[in-house]
Amino acid sequence: MNLIVAVDQNWAIGKDNKLLVSIPADMKMFREETSGKVVVLGRKTLETFPNGLPLKNRTNIVITKNPDFDGKGAIVVHSIEEALEEVKKYPSEDVYCIGGDSIYKQMLPYCDTAHVTRIDFAYEADSYFPNLDEDEDWEITAESEEQTYFDLEYQFVKYERKK
């Protein structure tokens, strides 16, 4: 299973249930990477999407404790275990965990590849992703050239779980 995330210098991912910044090239990479695939996300992340609707051209699996939650076309599960059972129906390389922070933390042990957009800036934030640079189970296997969006520098980094 994969995960895909954009982090700042402190591995922060969001504030007040919003992304820290929207970089067009990052959004494009996300779309290209996940289109036609399966995305696993939490309810709060789903609610940040336009009109709270599941992402188009993807199978959306939403994790929520709310038994009455209407996923508006998404597959709704009520635990990490249930989500893991559901994703068994799909090829592992086609499944992407897309957040938020509690879902990332709970799904990380089941992921082998992390597509991380590293943003060279420290934002004010209230949600974070585990620092893969400090996790001996993970290593960097690919890095893009440094890119710039206005005055913001960032790069795409691929981490893989050590075998």
**Residue 60 β-bridge partners:** 39
Extract the runs of DSSP E, i.e. beta strands, from the chain.
Answer: 2-7, 12-15, 18-19, 38-42, 59-63, 75-77, 95-97, 113-119, 127-128, 138-143, 147-149, 152-161
Taking residues 13-35, what's their average pLDDT?
97
Rounded Cα–Cα distance for residues 59 and 158 (Å)? 23
The domain locations on the chain are: 2-161
Tens of pLDDT, residues 50-94: 999 999 999 999 999 999 999 999 999 999 999 999 999 999 999
Global confidence as pTM: 0.96
Residue 107 phi/psi, 5° resolution?
-90, -20
The CATH number of domain 2-161 is 3.40.430.10: yes
| Lookup: tokens for 132 | 């893969």
| Lookup: tokens for 93 | 């390389």
Tens of pLDDT, residues 96-149: 999 999 999 999 999 999 999 999 999 999 999 999 999 999 999 999 999 999
Taking residues 20-35, what's their average pLDDT?
97
Q: What's the whole-number average pLDDT of the chain?
A: 97
